[in-house]
Amino acid sequence: MEQQVIPFKLLLVDDDIRIRLGLEKIISNHFSQDEIVIFSCENGLMAAQFLAREPIDVVITDIKMPLCSGIDLLKHMNEQKLSCCSVVLSGYDDYNLVRDALRLGASDYLLKPVDEGLLIHTLQELRSTALRPASSSQQASSLSSMLKMQQLLEVFVGSSDLYLSEVKNFEQEHHIHSQTPCLMCYVDIKRALYSNHLTCFQFLADRAETFLTGSQIIQNAKPAVIYGGLDAYWIFLLFSDDIRLAPEKVLKPFLELLEKDHFKYSVTPIWYAYENIRQADIDCRKGFEKYYFDLPYTLPREPISLQSVSDCLGAAVSAASLYDYAATIQNLERCFAMISSLRPSIPEVKKEMNHFVYSLLNKNSAFIPVISSSKFTDYDILEHIEKAESLSALQKGMYSTINHLIGELMQSMEDKDDYVIQKAKEYIHHNYQDNLTLNDVAAHVFLSGNYFSTLFKQKTGTTFRNYLRSFRIEKAKELLTTTNLRIYEVAQQTGYNEHSHFVRAFKSLTGQSPGDYREGR
Cis peptide before 55 (omega within 30 of 0): no
Residues 6+ apart with CB under 8 A from 224: 170, 173, 174, 176, 238, 239, 240
404-to-180, 312, 379 alpha-carbon distances in Å: 55, 21, 7
pLDDT of residue 39: 87
User: Which of helix, strand or coil describes residue 98?
Assistant: helix
DSSP β-bridge partners for residue 230: 233
pLDDT of residue 300: 57
DSSP β-bridge partners for residue 110: 89
Average pLDDT per consecutive 10 residues, the chain (521 residues; last block may be shorter): 65 86 87 84 83 84 80 84 80 61 70 77 74 45 64 78 81 90 87 53 79 78 82 86 79 85 86 90 85 74 76 90 85 89 88 93 87 87 88 91 85 69 88 91 81 88 93 92 90 90 92 88 62
Q: How many C-beta neighbours within 10 Å does residue 79 have?
A: 9
d(CA 355, CA 306): 13
pLDDT of residue 229: 78
User: Which of helix, strand or coil describes residue 108?
Assistant: strand
CB distance 432 to 475 below 8 Å: yes
Phi then psi for residue 225, to 5 deg, are -130, 140
- Burial state string for 259-277 with b = 16 or more CB within 10 A and e = fewer than 16: eebebbbbbbeebbebeeb
pLDDT of residue 140: 41
CB distance 12 to 41 below 8 Å: yes
Q: Which DSSP state fits 24? A: H
Residues 6+ apart with CB under 8 A from 430: none
d(CA 142, CA 125): 14
d(CA 492, CA 267): 59
Closest residue by Cα to residue 214 from 253, 176, 183, 171? 253
- DSSP for 348-376, written as a single string: HHHHHHHHHHHHHHHH-TTHHHHHHHTTT
Helices (H) and strands (E) in the chain, counts: 26, 10
HEC secondary structure over 464-496: HHHHHHHHHHHHHHHHHHHCCCCHHHHHHHCCC
d(CA 12, CA 7): 16
pLDDT of residue 469: 94
Residue 316 half-sphere exposure toward CB, CA atoms < 13 A: 27
Q: How many C-beta neighbours within 10 Å does residue 307 have?
A: 8
Give the global pTM.
Answer: 0.48
Phi then psi for residue 183, to 5 deg, are -115, 155
Query: In this structure, what is the dihedral angle of CA atoms 434, 437, 439, 444, given to the nearest 10 degrees?
Result: 30
